[in-house]
Structure 1
Amino acid sequence: MNKLIAVSALALSLHAQAAALKDVALDAAGNIRLVTAGGKALSIANDGKAAEPQLSPDGESAAWLYMGEPPGQGESVWGSSELRIYRDGKTRAIKCAPFIREFWYWKKGSRIAIDCGGSHFAGREILYDAKSLKQLESFDQADIPVEKRPEWSNSSDRYKPD
């Protein structure tokens, strides 16, 4: 019985290691290329509109902006109102309008946060659980002074990336 449990635990461990990611990159066509910890290459089509891919510190997620919004008035660069996240073999999205200006991981990748707003002026920062994409916290930048923002906020004086 103990041997069966040990073999099952080893199999689960190997499965978890094989599912983890080692690298995320943008290919020449503007699509996402993922490499698993086991060396398997995966290509995720994004109509050539992917930008700023980031691998989570824990290697469980990869996220990138989907640049689907035409430039705003007086702007020359396309924007993104959608953050795509690959985790556990699935691609899902967080949407926020008008633009997702920035995103970052927190708590070694178990959380993902976005800065959403217009091209200028204060916006809203939102923290999500990376696995479920459940919204955990948010605040309006105009309402909270920098020194009083939560520690997950990268616009906070207290923010320390991990």
Structure 2
Amino acid sequence: MRRVVFLLPLLFAGCSCQPDPAPTQTPAGTAATDPAAASAETTPAQGEGLGTIAPPVLSAVAPDAPSETITVRNYIYALLGSDRKSSDAFWSGGHTSARPDDAVLRGIPQLRNLRVDTDIPIARDTAQPSRLREVPVRIRAITAEGTFHYTGWYRLQPRPDGSGWEILGASLQPALE
């Protein structure tokens, strides 16, 4: 118990939650006379603490645009509707090919329930920020004939105007579960 009492003052003496001292400003046109102060002004802070602001995350799309996973989910739920133009608008160029990559989902008859699970998007290029993303998906479709499972991915790229993501390609395969 005595050890705790002796260590308590040491704990608060070097606490990182104490505010940093206010930076000293030199009048304009005068050079700092202390070499340590001059180097502190020109070099970045070493060992940034919790009080610093993190640099913004680079993104290839607008900051208020839906994420890649939300784009894929919105597309799949739009696909279930009867208006194919609204679901095709999620694809690059605003339309799919004659045989879409995810034709298996487009052809599910008498769909009763659909569950879409997405994983964290994977960058498929080395650009910073990434301009080609792949979203892994697991889909469970319940129909009048039974339950079907699919696994695969959707590849996305930024829209030409940077307003959000658009689907570039997909790969879905039936899975046994």
**TM-score for both structures, normalised by structure 2:** 0.31
Structure showing greater relative contact order (alpha-carbon pairs closer than 8 Å, 6 or more residues apart):
2
**TM-score for both structures, normalised by structure 1:** 0.33
Q: Comparing both structures, which one devotes a greater share of its residues to strand?
A: 1
Q: Which protein shows a greater Rg?
A: 2
Q: Comparing both structures, which one devotes a greater share of its residues to helix?
A: 2
